[in-house]
Amino acid sequence: MTVNETDIWYTERDISTTLVKGLKVLAAFEGGAAHMTLPEIGSETGYDRATVRRLVITLFDEGLLVKKGKSFSLTPKVLVLAGGYLRGHRIGATVQPILNKYSEEMGREISMATLCDGAAVYLARSNITGSAISFGFTVGSRLPLPHTAVGRMLLALESETAVQAFVKTSDLIGYTPQTNLDVLAIHEEIGKASTQGHVIVHSEFEAGVSGMSVPIGRIGTAKTVIGVSGPTATMQDPEILKRCLSILQICAAELCTAWHEGN
Amino acid sequence: MTVNETDIWYTERDISTTLVKGLKVLAAFEGGAAHMTLPEIGSETGYDRATVRRLVITLFDEGLLVKKGKSFSLTPKVLVLAGGYLRGHRIGATVQPILNKYSEEMGREISMATLCDGAAVYLARSNITGSAISFGFTVGSRLPLPHTAVGRMLLALESETAVQAFVKTSDLIGYTPQTNLDVLAIHEEIGKASTQGHVIVHSEFEAGVSGMSVPIGRIGTAKTVIGVSGPTATMQDPEILKRCLSILQICAAELCTAWHEGN
DNA sequence: TATAGATGTTCAAATAACGCACATTTGTTG
DNA sequence: CAACAAATGTGCGTTATTTGAACATCTATA
């Protein structure tokens, strides 16, 4: 039996409060507006004006923020940090070509996502060139777990206790008239996803958009999923669904061997 | 005359040293290996073991790093930060579809890049599905300025003094046998790019790969470029080059109107 | 298993961060 | 347009956090 990695191996004293605050300022640009003034950042983070000022000046000096009049906004330097993750996990070199290949075969965009802070985060996304529709989601986009196909599949990969904990604490948001707000029904859908190994969700996050998702690897060990989305109209035809599922599963299998998940 | 934004409006006292160090630890994962132990991070950053420990514990606690045995690595949470930039600058919603459209027309991948810390950073990239080759570059990838088409075009957008400063201080690396290591010749190429409004570079960064680039907007005001790359063999045919250039220019024009650069 | 070298952790000294109070800018009203 | 009020920006003493040497622990090797 290996040591449980979730054991507490550090105390509160070992956490650098200043770094935490600085990171929260950076994160404020993700949650809030793209351009923010010092007071806006202050109210977003809840920190004192003077504190915000020093942190923002630091981030500016480091080249992570630019100043335009009184507003600050992120610079492309944050992409470089992200690029480190993508390169380290061979997303560009290994994953992207595979997504592209099956994306072309299917004629739809395929996305890869993983769990991060109670949301599904896109790690990679194929761009099917012929597609008329584009939902504007990119690498780093966060999708709600309970109401998207990738989200439900990611939850299905978690332990039953983790799912229960999430479902209990999560506030369900009615994105569309079709959004399922019944906790028990969602829990059941996650269970089905787990046993079936795939999941389909219709119009619960964006009206008229449906998604299908399968895990990369076996349920229980997998931590990453791929998914495809398209107009609900075309995603209800059993023949199309069957074909999409088949291709997604082959794509997932290829990713599983080509991209050793352990990194 | 507006106030010069480069004026010093803060003192050294206003910079939070702890935040700077924490960011440098994060950046260490971009420059160094994907998985690093505490001592490795220490030697990469030059900080004391105890300091590194505190910072790494903080980043772990914030969910930006994961621990695997004794090694730490980035989590997808860094992508969320990047997602903030991409969303804020409407890269996914506005830029990506345009790149995809012209990418399909051209049959080649189009990338968008900007200047960041002495390198060209990819902001977006179309994925042409039929392409056999894939160079493994993604959003956030950094390319050398002097030896790539997008890099030389980006330099051409800078002021003459800035270019001179860069060319003087930059160490030229011989990536391939064809890499141009003559500072004067490179400077001249940048000048040509500036007057012509486009630039082509053959095999100077990756052997057998050539690139072409044009600015988004007018020289002097533009700060972003798009580029296309492909096998040197096919990128020497005048007819192909003419066609690529034409499509790139139309693509750049559309981006210029659809995506107001000022954000 | 003994030993040396490397890595991890603690805690008092040193230092950097906090946030009050003051200065300045911005917006509003007579 | 001036005078006021409200909001935002900044210097500085106090206080809490960070630092790194000293100590503890782990790991590799013979």
Domain boundary among B56, B75, B94: B75
CA-CA distance, A167 to B60, in Å (whole number)?
A: 25
Tell me if B30 and A84 make a contact (CB, 8 A cut-off): yes
Per the CB < 8 A criterion, the answer to whether B49 and B38 are in contact is yes
- Cα angle value A254/B64/A224 (rounded, 5°): 20
Domain boundary among A24, A46, A75: A75
> Residue B2 pLDDT more than 50?
no
Give the pLDDT of residue A130.
Answer: 58
Going by pLDDT thresholds of 50, 70 and 90, the confidence category of residue B222 is confident
In a domain? residue A7 = no
Concatenate the DSSP letters of all residues of A67-91 into one string.
EETTEEEE-THHHHHHHHHHHHTTI
Find all residues with CB under 8 Å of A257, minimum gap 6, and list them.
none
Specify the pairing of strand B110-116 against strand B119-125. antiparallel
CA-CA distance, A76 to A83, in Å (whole number)?
A: 11
Q: What is the DSSP letter of A170?
A: P
Q: What is the DSSP letter of B141?
A: -
In a domain? residue A189 = yes
Specify the pairing of strand A119-125 against strand B142-144. unpaired
Q: Which amino acid is at A144?
A: P
Per the CB < 8 A criterion, the answer to whether A198 and A249 are in contact is yes
How far from each other are the two terminal CA atoms of chain A, in whole angstroms? 22
Distances (CA, A) of B209 to A225, B201, B235, B241: 33, 9, 8, 14
Q: Which strand C nucleotides have any atom less than 7 A from protein CB atoms?
A: 6-11, 16-21
A 38-57 residues with CB < 8 A to B: 53-55, 57
B 117-146 residues with CB < 8 A to A: 117, 121-124, 126-131, 134, 136-142
Q: Return the H-helix or E-strand segment holding B188.
A: helix B183-196
Give the pLDDT of residue B218.
Answer: 87
In a domain? residue A2 = no
- Choose among A193, A227, A224: nearest CA to A213: A227
Are B92 and B63 members of one domain?
Answer: no
> Residue B262 pLDDT more than 70?
no
Tens-digit pLDDT profile for chain A (263 aa)?
A: 333 445 678 998 899 999 999 999 999 998 888 999 999 999 999 999 999 999 999 999 999 999 988 999 999 999 998 988 999 899 988 999 899 899 989 988 899 999 998 999 999 998 765 555 556 788 999 999 999 999 999 999 999 999 999 988 888 999 999 999 999 999 999 999 999 999 999 999 999 999 999 999 888 788 999 999 989 999 999 999 999 999 999 999 999 999 876 55
- Choose among A226, B145, B31: nearest CA to B41: B31
Give the pLDDT of residue A7.
Answer: 64
Give the pLDDT of residue A133.
Answer: 55
Are B42 and B115 members of one domain?
Answer: no
In a domain? residue A3 = no
Give the pLDDT of residue B57.
Answer: 96
Give the pLDDT of residue A128.
Answer: 67
Are A62 and A159 members of one domain?
Answer: no
Are A55 and A165 members of one domain?
Answer: no
> Backbone dihedral region of A61: left (phi > 0), alpha (psi from -120 to 50 degrees) or beta?
alpha
CA-CA distance, A112 to A132, in Å (whole number)?
A: 21
Q: What is the mean pLDDT of residues B163-188?
A: 93
Find all residues with CB under 8 Å of B87, minimum gap 6, and list them.
A30, A34, A138, A141, B93
Are B52 and B163 members of one domain?
Answer: no
Number of domains composing chain A: 2
Q: Scanning the structure block, which residue is given the tokens 């504190």?
A: A51
Structure tokens at A72: 């600050």
Are B108 and B196 members of one domain?
Answer: yes
Distances (CA, A) of B39 to A82, B48, B52, B56: 23, 9, 8, 11
Q: Scanning the structure block, which residue is given the tokens 């490795």?
A: B40
Q: Which of B5, B33, B83 sits opposite A139 (nearest CB)?
A: B83
Average pLDDT, chain B: 90
How close is the nearest chain B Cα to the Cα of A195, in Å? 27
How far from each other are the two terminal CA atoms of chain B, in whole angstroms? 22
Q: What is the DSSP letter of A130?
A: T
In a domain? residue A263 = no
CA-CA distance, A261 to A49, in Å (whole number)?
A: 44
CA-CA distance, B83 to A67, in Å (whole number)?
A: 20
Give the pLDDT of residue A170.
Answer: 87
CATH number of the structural domain spanning residue A120: 3.30.450.40
Let me know if B260 is exposed, middle or buried by CB neighbors in 10 A (0-12, 13-18, 19+): exposed
Domain boundary among A51, A75, A99: A75
CA-CA distance, B215 to B156, in Å (whole number)?
A: 9
Query: Starting at the edge strand that comes first in sequence, how are the strands of the sheet with B119-125 ordered?
Result: B142-144, B119-125, B110-116, B224-231, B209-215, B199-202
Are A118 and A206 members of one domain?
Answer: yes
CA-CA distance, B143 to B122, in Å (whole number)?
A: 8
CA-CA distance, B22 to B230, in Å (whole number)?
A: 39
The gap between B7 CA and D2 C1' (Å) is: 32
Per the CB < 8 A criterion, the answer to whether B153 and B225 are in contact is yes
| Domain ranges, residue A118 | 81-258
In a domain? residue A4 = no
At A220 the three-state DSSP class reads: coil
Are B121 and B163 members of one domain?
Answer: yes
CA-CA distance, B65 to B74, in Å (whole number)?
A: 5
Are B117 and B30 members of one domain?
Answer: no
Q: Which strand D nucleotides have any atom less than 7 A from protein CB atoms?
A: 7-12, 16-22
Going by pLDDT thresholds of 50, 70 and 90, the confidence category of residue B1 is very low
Give the pLDDT of residue B30.
Answer: 86
Are B16 and B146 members of one domain?
Answer: no
CATH number of the structural domain spanning residue A21: 1.10.10.10
Which range is least confidently modeled, A134-143, A153-162, B83-92, B219-228? Answer: A134-143
In a domain? residue B263 = no
Give the pLDDT of residue A257.
Answer: 93
Share of chain B above pLDDT 70, in %: 93
| CA torsion through residues B199, B204, B206, B207, sign | positive
Structure tokens at B198: 């486009």
In a domain? residue A6 = no
Are B97 and B71 members of one domain?
Answer: no
φ/ψ (deg, to 5) at A157? -85, -15
Q: What is the pTM of this model?
A: 0.91
Tell me if B139 and A82 make a contact (CB, 8 A cut-off): yes
Going by pLDDT thresholds of 50, 70 and 90, the confidence category of residue B131 is low
User: Which of A7, A60, A64, A139 would you mutate first to test chain B, the one with the most B CBs within 10 A?
Assistant: A139
CA-CA distance, A14 to A10, in Å (whole number)?
A: 6
Per the CB < 8 A criterion, the answer to whether A224 and A261 are in contact is yes
Tell me if A123 and B76 make a contact (CB, 8 A cut-off): yes
Are B207 and B119 members of one domain?
Answer: yes
